[in-house]
Amino acid sequence: MKLLILVVALLATAASAQMSGTGIGIIVGEPTGLSLKSWLSPKSAITVGAAWSFRNDGSLLLWADYTLHSFNITGASNPRSLAFYYGIGAKVGFVDRNDNDNETVIGARVPLGLMLPIGDAPVEVFLEVVPTVDLSPDTDFGINGGIGVHFFL
């Protein structure tokens, strides 16, 4: 009986983990790498990442985003269904030039995406498009984006 209670408690915790706690995952696209999401409230989160960009000569990209989530955008009876999220963030890129001249790029990000919790599992999938602006050393505009998944602990 104690084992059954423990299993039910763990499943209940896992079911609510998508809107709380911290999840680790991957994003595939431009850039491709690791992502970590931590919920601050039922509708806001911080996401940080480390990924490889394949543009130009290639670069390591680090970022941090603050996002707000709007749930129930489809009008479904489940208020925690498909969510639209948007936010603001910062990025640092370490570009490895072919002539051994490395460059650090600092910029801003505006993540826009869709996030879908997967049933009662502590998992979410997401699709995002992220307009970017490089501020240093030169001003430049770009777009990041991809699909990914977070597994919540």
| Rounded Cα distance, 151 and 153, in Å | 7
| Rounded Cα distance, 87 and 64, in Å | 10
Q: What is the pLDDT along the chain (153 residues), one digit of tens a residue?
A: 443 333 333 333 433 446 789 999 999 999 999 999 999 999 999 999 999 998 877 899 999 999 999 987 877 666 568 999 999 999 999 987 666 678 899 999 999 999 999 988 999 999 999 999 999 999 999 999 999 999 998
- Which CATH number do you get for residue 114? 2.40.160.20
| Domain that includes residue 73, residue range | 2-152
- Beta strands (DSSP E) in 97-139 are 102-109, 112-117, 123-136
| Span between the terminal Cα atoms of the chain, in Å | 25
Q: Tokens standing for 19?
A: 């809107």
Domain count, the chain: 1
